[in-house]
Structure 1
Amino acid sequence: MYDEVSATATSMKVFCGRVNPTTGSVDWVEEDENYDYHQEIARSSYADMLHDKDRNKKYYEGICAAVRRVKERGQDAIVLDIGTGTGLLSMMAAAAGADFCYAIEVFKPMADAATRIVQANGFGEKIKVINKHSTEVTVGPDGDMEQRANILVTELFDTELIGEGALPSYEHAQHNLMQEQWEAVPHRATVYALLVESQRLWSWNKLLPLSLDSVDIRPPPEMESCPGAPSVCDVQLSQLRPSEFTKLSDVLCVFRVDFSEQVSSSAVSHPVRFRSEADGAAQVVLSWWDIDMDPEGTIVCSMKPSWAYPTVQPAPWRDHWMQCVYFLPEERQVKQGEELCLIGHQDDYCVWYSLTKPSVEAQTQVPLERPACHCGAHITWNRARFGELNDRHRIERYREAIRKVLTPSSVCLCVSDGSLLPFLAHSVGATQIYTLESSSMSQHLMEKLFQTNQLGDKIRVLQKPPDGVTAADLQDGKISALIGEPFFTTSLLPWHNLYFWYARTALSSKLDTHCAVLPLNASLYVLAVEFKDLWRIRSPCGTCEGFDVSIMDEMIKNSLNFRESQEAEPHPLWEYPCRALSDPTKVMTFDFRELVPTEEMSAEGSLNLVRSGECHGVVLWMEYQLAEDISVSTGLLRVSKENGDCHWYPNRKQGVYFFSSLLDPEPARTHISISISYSLTFTPKTGDICMRFTPLS
């Protein structure tokens, strides 16, 4: 929520200097010395993993089978559990008959929790928790492990499978901590890929050309040829409608990792030949993985999205493991029946893809270098921002509003990060246009974009804070039109973009008496919802597969009491289905035509629940009034009248305030007479919105 810039410690407290995303100031905040630990726990997916019944069931079945195979060979079952977390998998092994378990956990608060959980469940004599990285563990009479293990149990995987360093950890453990013959749970992993054309997904990766009557916006050549960011997009692909992509291949098996054999973390390429199933533009690779818990492949835990099953059925819901979206280095036109080669490149931490014609070279080629952005755009803009910049309907709304406030004589200043509004200002006739950028990289990126479109001498980029803008910067003129989306790269929660209001206040002496401000205002809306699945990430852990892990509830509750986690948290709700239980309600309006007030703003009231369901929390978002008759929403777009299903703007995150026993209010199993009371306070000095929502019967 804040960008930490420095910290100094004094005994039991830490003073952290953080850039406030709303006010833009550096705030020095006194935190508990365990602040980072609490934040790590609060933001983790422990509750989500513990509630993943499919995952837990498959792991338990696989562990039981592995212990049985070792016992059938007449050996003691000695288990090594790397990344034990709560100790759940070690307890499963002990319950399955393992003779001893070594549970490795590098994160000390979790290692301490695992020790308490193991003891609380009566496994203290069969499980030893070791608070080290697995590469630091020693074996021998005086070592951490008295003997090498013969069953390797791990859950080191992320959405990309290997992104958390699974391969180096396996490689080291198999060399140094395992016997010559070992069983592994999981036994193997298989990575799958599907080549598709999807304008929706491709718009997350490239700035697409845009025609605006007299103005065409073209991306710089280096942006078009840039391979993009090295990081994968993790997405709930079950929420991507099949109509939003065209399959150009069948589901391809790209590579397998057998964990019962020696694993290598060396870079390697995996070419897969196939014939294109349709004409189209090859743009995107959708990917997921399965893990087989046993050698026979009868116990399978799959990450494939719901539409990838043979028949329509709900996929097990997970947020700790999702699916991957990879962008090819460049778009390539393919024909139905054309023979192609998709190459999955893999090093010790990353996977990426390229597409080529089949050849002997393609099958034996050395892995390409990991893709890295060289244009600056993929470092400055995330995937949602690319999507917003390519949202033509939204751009037209802004252009329509800008037409109402700009004239050829306007002195126009845009305050937003990496915005196309200066182009829109030029397209409606403004000739003196400035744009304020928050970073040198963003400044360079926008200058290159303006130059590519022959506007380098017509739009001036200023890289400085609002209170640093001088009369000389504006050629001794006064700003007659202040415009913004608003969007800022440091913003996480919807109200963080109120930075535009603080910028407007800092610039007040540079504004003309009759300066037009766009947007006119921002309104904060709230909606009570029932989530289909997202509630699980904040649901109490209690017992899991018969093991008491309620200590995690205590840890998470303590963590959530910290300032950054006790209120709303950001989520892209297009990925997380929910139903509206109340009507959307406007609770606060921030008037950008006025200065930021010095006094607090408060709002109190109640949300009447008009639909039955279980109320898991409240969603918050901003709606901007661009002109008297033009507005844009960063949250709710519409609610289905039939069932209350919500449709969310996909290119911004919304704020979610969860109800759970950890946060005290009783979950509201609603009736139309039940309501949710709310109390919100906006503090101008900090830019924070403190909130309380309480279900009432």
Structure 2
Amino acid sequence: MKTFCGRANPTTGALDWVEESEEYDFHQEIARSCYADMLHDHDRNEKYYQGIRAAVARVKARGEKVIILDIGTGTGLLSMMALTAGADFCYAVEVFKPMAKAAQCIVEKNGFSDRIKIINKHSTDVTVGPDGDMQMKANVLITELFDTELIGEGALPSYEHAHQNLVKEGCEAVPHRATVYAQLVESELLWSWAQMQPVEVKGARLVPPPAVGRCAGAHSVCDIQLSQVSPNSFTPLGPLCTMFSVDFSKPVSSALQSHSSQFVAQSGGRAQVVLSWWDLDMDPSGSIVCTMAPSWTYTQPKMAPWRDHWMQSVYFLPVERGVTEGEELSLTVCHDDYSLWYSLQSPSQQTPESQTKALSSRPCCTCQAHLVWTRPRFGELNDRRRTESYVSALRSVLREDSLCLSVSDGSLLPVFAHILGAKKVFGLENSRMSKQVIEQVLEANSIKGVELLEMRPDQLTRNDIGGEQISVLMAEPYFGTSLLPWHSLYFWYCRTALAGLMQPNATILPSSATLHMVAVEFQDLWRIRAPCGTCEGFDVTPMDEMVQQSLDFRESREAEPHPLWEYPCRALTQSKAIMTFDFTQCVPQEPVSSQGSLPFIRGGRCHGIALWMEYHLTHDISVSAGLIGPISEQGDCEWARHRKQGVYFFRQPWECSDDARVAVSYSFTFEPSLGDIKMDFSIKAL
């Protein structure tokens, strides 16, 4: 069945009507899932296998038949491990219908269909009895219900229901136990993702609104590859604390709970951030451990296993507070059935009333800024070097009689332009909430000369800007709807819509943008798109086939957005600007194409192409949303932290030796009517 769905085009701003199959969401969910990453996670798979073998052996030693309940079976891999380890029967529960179908194909292909029953339900809907989904209760519970925050996928309610209804008392569980760890740190880098910092502009100090400083921030966890945050970027204020453990072999509660850990501050500083991760003990003795600890906790960091389906968590305290070396502190973690949050107190302040307050004080944004600005956006606004580039560019183009219009979401550019002396400054905001956030900034700094307008560029009239013409049109450009780097070309469409309101010699800032590319070898990110074939001895090719069908379904040859600072890679070619977009002119009517080739200068395994935009504010000031420094002699890359780059993965990696005379041949076409960039790549001999 085909339907037409209205979707806002992130580049053109137009409402596009897209014909879609009812299966579209399923296909995209599969194509962009982390199943390949999990199947390639040998450490995870091996630890599960060891834990399952040990649990099956313990039940057999009691003279019992081994009946497995596998909740969240995915590909059925853990169920097949259980039968290989000697289990008698397995009930494998998978709520996602296409995945349940794939699991059915996989268990059949591996010869287990007579002893594995795939149940396409949520586990809380599964029934036990003669007419139920399960004929009997299980005595071994295997689960993979975890996310970066451990409980964010509903693990606790699922365990709670399973113990009440689906498994026998005293059952074995794999994993047996989870333990959550946390460390209190001071970090200017990480704290910049949570709070707006003061900004110096032309001798003036721009301060954040008081409501923003008092706000506890967004409630959601900040999950990142903490291994890529250098230990030099933070100062530990206390030891690594064991916050709480959950024994999955016993009844589990999803009720609101709190746990505290007391310690002595090992150094003084500003308590701002909590770094957190967890371990899984696969057996009761804790001898089989799967840890999420970042690589810098290892004596040999390169030995740390890589995974993207489970990362590490960063939590921001509701307010920063000073601590002194030797001070006694109490770190408290609270959790409901889906999320965690932290608070810091002195032990003397801990009372039943304070515990109740901690439980009820889950972070919730009250200032609106944390609803308008994402964490990377906070970091971008707090990036001093980036701010200096925009201020320098504005200073070079502004005059006393300048009438400025800013087109960016939740931007400080109108504030900068006013401080730098523009006669009139207007800012277009896409929503009432973002308008109100910038109004708070204006009020906190007693700025009266900036007028914010909540409307689209094509709605703006000369009356809205006092009957005058725009002399400076400016943008970062930043838009909350942008996913891929070139979606920010929405500014070009805004500039075109505003052409009739601008002076003939109006300044456009940025004046242009260039799309850049480099061929790369990823250290680990390639795993998320790599075929699996066999996994721990089991044939999982039906999963590969389903993913490939999903990739071919619609968005088969498109780039994906990824924050490459979290995913190390080596450049195998030089970087190259392959398309230029001239913002001083209106969007062209006809497609714009670019073809060429980029020679390999290093040997390696080329997994794909990294793509990003650079914005040329003036003839001598540019800002990169991709590479922010030269590529090293070994090919190492440093990427901008606050924007995602585009990654075009090849279906198969290309092997290239150091002395090979080959190049990446590329073809790009920008379709103005669609606001999209089509691309294709191949290898050719030189």
TM-score clears 0.5: yes
**Matched residue SS, 1:47:** helix
Question: Are the counterparts in 2 of residues 189 and 257 from structure 1 also a CA contact under 8 Å?
Answer: yes
Q: Are residues 1:584 and 2:575 paired?
A: yes
**Superposed, which structure 2 residues align to 1:67-106 within 5 Å?**
67-106=56-95
Shift of 1:637: 1.4
**Matched residue SS, 2:561:** strand
**Residue in 1 aligned with 2:457?**
466
**Residue in 2 aligned with 1:392?**
384
**Superposed, which structure 2 residues align to 1:38-49 within 5 Å?**
38-49=27-38
CA deviation profile, 1:361-408 (whole Å, cap 9, x unmatched): 357822133211111111111111001100111111111111121111
Q: Are residues 1:483 and 2:471 paired?
A: no
- Structure 1 residue identity aligned to 2:680: R
Question: What is the CA–CA distance in structure 2 between the aligned matches of 1:192 and 1:90, rounded to whole Å?
Answer: 29
**Residue in 1 aligned with 2:402?**
410
Shift of 1:172: 0.3
Q: TM-score, normalised by structure 1?
A: 0.96
Q: Are residues 1:231 and 2:220 paired?
A: yes
Question: What is the CA–CA distance in structure 2 between the aligned matches of 1:324 and 1:203, rounded to whole Å?
Answer: 16
Q: TM-score, normalised by structure 2?
A: 0.98
Question: What is the CA–CA distance in structure 1 between the aligned matches of 2:188 and 2:556, rounded to whole Å?
Answer: 35
Question: What is the CA–CA distance in structure 1 between the aligned matches of 2:332 and 2:509, rounded to whole Å?
Answer: 48
**Superposed, which structure 2 residues align to 1:93-492 within 5 Å?**
93-359=82-348, 361-362=350-351, 365-366=355-356, 367-455=359-447, 457-492=448-483
**Residue in 2 aligned with 1:7?**
none
Taking structure 1 as reference, are residues 220 and 360 closer, same or farther at Cα in structure 2, changes over 3 Å only?
closer
Question: What is the CA–CA distance in structure 2 between the aligned matches of 1:647 and 1:362, rounded to whole Å?
Answer: 47
Larger mean Cα displacement after TM superposition, 365-374 or 320-329: 365-374
CA deviation profile, 1:15-52 (whole Å, cap 9, x unmatched): 11101110011100001220000111111100000000
Question: Are the counterparts in 2 of residues 42 and 565 from structure 1 also a CA contact under 8 Å?
Answer: no
Question: Are the counterparts in 2 of residues 528 and 618 from structure 1 also a CA contact under 8 Å?
Answer: yes
Shift of 1:97: 0.7
Question: Are the counterparts in 2 of residues 271 and 362 from structure 1 also a CA contact under 8 Å?
Answer: no
**Residue in 1 aligned with 2:681?**
693
Question: Are the counterparts in 2 of residues 614 and 670 from structure 1 also a CA contact under 8 Å?
Answer: no
**Residue in 2 aligned with 1:575?**
566
**Residue in 1 aligned with 2:494?**
503
**Matched residue SS, 2:508:** strand
Shift of 1:671: 4.4
Shift of 1:670: 6.3
Taking structure 1 as reference, are residues 535 and 483 closer, same or farther at Cα in structure 2, changes over 3 Å only?
same
Q: Are residues 1:17 and 2:6 paired?
A: yes
Pick from 527, 531, 536 the counterpart of residue 545 of structure 1. 536
Q: Are residues 1:625 and 2:616 paired?
A: yes
Question: Are the counterparts in 1 of residues 515 and 579 from structure 2 also a CA contact under 8 Å?
Answer: yes
Question: Are the counterparts in 1 of residues 412 and 438 from structure 2 also a CA contact under 8 Å?
Answer: no
CA deviation profile, 1:163-205 (whole Å, cap 9, x unmatched): 0000000000110001122000000000000100000000000
CA deviation profile, 1:567-622 (whole Å, cap 9, x unmatched): 10001011111111101111100000000011001111111010111111100000
**Residue in 2 aligned with 1:653?**
644
Question: What is the CA–CA distance in structure 2 between the aligned matches of 1:202 and 1:174, rounded to whole Å?
Answer: 40
Question: What is the CA–CA distance in structure 1 between the aligned matches of 2:675 and 2:526, rounded to whole Å?
Answer: 27
- Structure 2 residue identity aligned to 1:682: F
CA deviation profile, 1:455-507 (whole Å, cap 9, x unmatched): 1x310111111000111110111101000010000001100000000000011
Question: What is the CA–CA distance in structure 1 between the aligned matches of 2:442 and 2:423, rounded to whole Å?
Answer: 14
Question: What is the CA–CA distance in structure 2 between the aligned matches of 1:639 and 1:553, rounded to whole Å?
Answer: 37
Question: What is the CA–CA distance in structure 2 between the aligned matches of 1:333 and 1:643, rounded to whole Å?
Answer: 42
Larger mean Cα displacement after TM superposition, 358-367 or 193-202: 358-367
RMSD over aligned Cα atoms: 1.3
Q: Are residues 1:611 and 2:602 paired?
A: yes
- Structure 1 residue identity aligned to 2:4: F
Shift of 1:212: 1.5
- Structure 2 residue identity aligned to 1:676: V
Question: Are the counterparts in 2 of residues 616 and 668 from structure 1 also a CA contact under 8 Å?
Answer: no
CA deviation profile, 1:84-117 (whole Å, cap 9, x unmatched): 0100000000111100000000100000000000
Question: What is the CA–CA distance in structure 1 between the aligned matches of 2:54 and 2:67, rounded to whole Å?
Answer: 14
Question: Are the counterparts in 2 of residues 345 and 353 from structure 1 also a CA contact under 8 Å?
Answer: yes
Taking structure 1 as reference, are residues 652 and 124 closer, same or farther at Cα in structure 2, changes over 3 Å only?
same
Question: Are the counterparts in 1 of residues 175 and 282 from structure 2 also a CA contact under 8 Å?
Answer: yes
- Structure 1 residue identity aligned to 2:19: E
**Matched residue SS, 1:648:** coil
**Matched residue SS, 2:629:** strand
Question: What is the CA–CA distance in structure 2 between the aligned matches of 1:559 and 1:164, rounded to whole Å?
Answer: 24
Question: Are the counterparts in 2 of residues 63 and 93 from structure 1 also a CA contact under 8 Å?
Answer: yes
Instruction: Name structure 1 gaps, 5 residues minimum.
Output: 1-11
Percent identity, please: 60
- Structure 2 residue identity aligned to 1:414: S
**Matched residue SS, 2:4:** strand
CA deviation profile, 1:270-304 (whole Å, cap 9, x unmatched): 01100111010000000000000000000000000
Question: What is the CA–CA distance in structure 2 between the aligned matches of 1:343 and 1:672, rounded to whole Å?
Answer: 57
Shift of 1:692: 0.8
CA deviation profile, 1:47-69 (whole Å, cap 9, x unmatched): 00000000000000000000000
Question: What is the CA–CA distance in structure 1 between the aligned matches of 2:614 and 2:150, rounded to whole Å?
Answer: 38
Corresponding pairs, count: 682
Taking structure 1 as reference, are residues 528 and 460 closer, same or farther at Cα in structure 2, changes over 3 Å only?
same
- Structure 1 residue identity aligned to 2:458: D
CA deviation profile, 1:389-442 (whole Å, cap 9, x unmatched): 001111111111111211111110000111111122112210200011111111
Instruction: Name structure 2 gaps, 5 residues minimum.
Output: none
Question: Are the counterparts in 2 of residues 529 and 616 from structure 1 also a CA contact under 8 Å?
Answer: yes
**Matched residue SS, 2:194:** coil
Question: What is the CA–CA distance in structure 2 between the aligned matches of 1:550 and 1:671, rounded to whole Å?
Answer: 35
- Structure 1 residue identity aligned to 2:31: A
CA deviation profile, 1:639-687 (whole Å, cap 9, x unmatched): 44331100001111000001133xxx75556644121111111000110
Question: What is the CA–CA distance in structure 2 between the aligned matches of 1:565 and 1:438, rounded to whole Å?
Answer: 31
Question: Are the counterparts in 2 of residues 608 and 672 from structure 1 also a CA contact under 8 Å?
Answer: no
Taking structure 1 as reference, are residues 545 and 420 closer, same or farther at Cα in structure 2, changes over 3 Å only?
same
CA deviation profile, 1:96-148 (whole Å, cap 9, x unmatched): 11000000001000000000000000001110000001011111111100000
Taking structure 1 as reference, are residues 181 and 229 closer, same or farther at Cα in structure 2, changes over 3 Å only?
same
Question: What is the CA–CA distance in structure 2 between the aligned matches of 1:327 and 1:349, rounded to whole Å?
Answer: 17
**Matched residue SS, 2:303:** coil
- Structure 2 residue identity aligned to 1:526: M
- Structure 1 residue identity aligned to 2:381: L
**Residue in 2 aligned with 1:681?**
669
Larger mean Cα displacement after TM superposition, 49-58 or 685-694: 685-694
